[in-house]
């Protein structure tokens, strides 16, 4: 059942047939071509809109391909600046909505919640993006930020930058997340080593790493759920105890 929206007639420019249809029934009966035309119709006259819809479909095949294209790729495909503006707004608004929905309101309880928040913005990225989520002592989310783009193997994570940003945000707890563009969220050896290092650094700086979540295609991997965050914390504690015992032994000798 759809809620029909009736707009008052104030002598303004009439809506297109697609726009009227959307207000009456939503997107359920729309195909890819009609959705793209509806989107571009917000900034382009009908004749130009039709031409750019054809170019979008020829180049990007479907709506998902269009929405994952960069502004540079859209421009190379012959899409006008107004068309690019409409598409970029469409891409950014849901991400901002999800960010505002989670920051300051929910309290982190599970990796599933974080996956649902991140999946829309990370599932179609063509490069790995490594994010940090800052939380307070009550596990309430303060902010999110992208730390780097690339791959964990080729792009180093700088612990000092992480610590400085954490202090700046007034955070004491952290969740890390990154995507695997190939779709398989299984952690690599580099993923495991990085997470272990971050847990160790957090322990030294009295910052709690709650999780590291890898986003794949419709699924995710959580280091916390797999018991690895606890294991790395125990590893750090054992190393610390061992060093303390060695120092005491040297004093006795």
Per the CB < 8 A criterion, the answer to whether 52 and 83 are in contact is yes
Instruction: Count CB atoms within 10 A of the CB of residue 236.
Output: 17
Strand 173-179 relative to strand 208-215: parallel, antiparallel, unpaired? parallel
Judge whether residue 94 has pLDDT over 90: no
Query: CA-to-CA distance for 214 and 232, rounded, in angstroms?
Result: 17
Nearest to 198 by CA among 162, 169, 165, 231: 162
pTM: 0.71
* Rounded alpha-carbon distances, angstroms, from residue 190 to 153, 193, 201, 203: 7, 5, 16, 20
Structure-block tokens of residue 192:
């495991």
Q: Could you tell me which of 122, 30, 28 has the C-alpha nearest to residue 68?
A: 122
Residue 118's nearest CA partner among 129, 106, 107 is 129
Distance CA 111, CA 115 (A): 6
The CATH fold of domain 107-243 = Cytidine Deaminase; domain 2 (3.40.140)
Task: Enumerate the β-bridge partners of residue 82.
Answer: none
- Collect contacts of 65-69 with beta carbons under 8 A, ≥24 apart: 66/36, 67/91, 67/124, 68/124, 68/125, 68/126
pLDDT band at 211 (very low <50, low <70, confident <90, very high): very high
3-state secondary structure of 150: strand
* DSSP of 187-213: PPHHHHHHHHHHHHHHHHTT-EEEEEE
Mean pLDDT in the chain? 85
Closest alpha carbon to 177 in 116, 105, 94:
116
pLDDT per position as a tens digit, 56-85: 999 998 888 888 888 899 999 888 999 899
| pLDDT tens sequence across 8-58 | 555 456 888 999 999 998 888 899 999 999 999 988 888 888 889 999 999
């Amino acid at each position: 059942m759809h809620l029909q929206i009736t707009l008052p007639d104030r002598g303004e420019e009439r809506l297109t047939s697609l726009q009227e249809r959307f207000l009456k029934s939503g997107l359920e009966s729309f195909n890819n071509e009609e959705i793209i035309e509806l989107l571009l119709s917000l900034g382009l006259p009908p004749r130009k809109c039709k031409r750019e819809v054809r170019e979008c479909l020829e180049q990007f095949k479907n709506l998902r391909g269009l929405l994952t294209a960069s502004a540079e790729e859209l421009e190379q495909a012959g899409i006008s600046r107004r068309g690019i503006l409409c598409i970029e707004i469409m891409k950014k608004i849901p991400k901002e909505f999800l960010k505002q929905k989670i920051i300051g309101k929910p309290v982190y309880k599970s990796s599933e919640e974080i996956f649902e928040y991140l999946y829309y913005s990370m599932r179609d990225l063509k490069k790995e993006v490594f994010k940090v989520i800052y939380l307070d002592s009550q596990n309430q989310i303060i902010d999110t930020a992208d730390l780097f783009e690339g791959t964990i193997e080729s792009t180093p994570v700088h612990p000092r930058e992480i610590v400085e940003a954490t202090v700046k945000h007034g955070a004491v707890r952290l969740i890390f997340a990154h995507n695997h563009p190939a779709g398989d969220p299984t952690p690599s050896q580099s993923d495991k080593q990085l997470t272990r290092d971050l847990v160790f650094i957090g322990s030294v700086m009295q910052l709690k790493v709650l999780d590291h979540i890898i986003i794949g295609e419709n699924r995710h991997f959580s280091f916390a759920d797999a018991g690895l965050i606890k294991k790395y914390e125990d590893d750090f504690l054992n190393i610390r105890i061992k060093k303390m015992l060695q120092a005491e032994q040297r004093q006795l000798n």
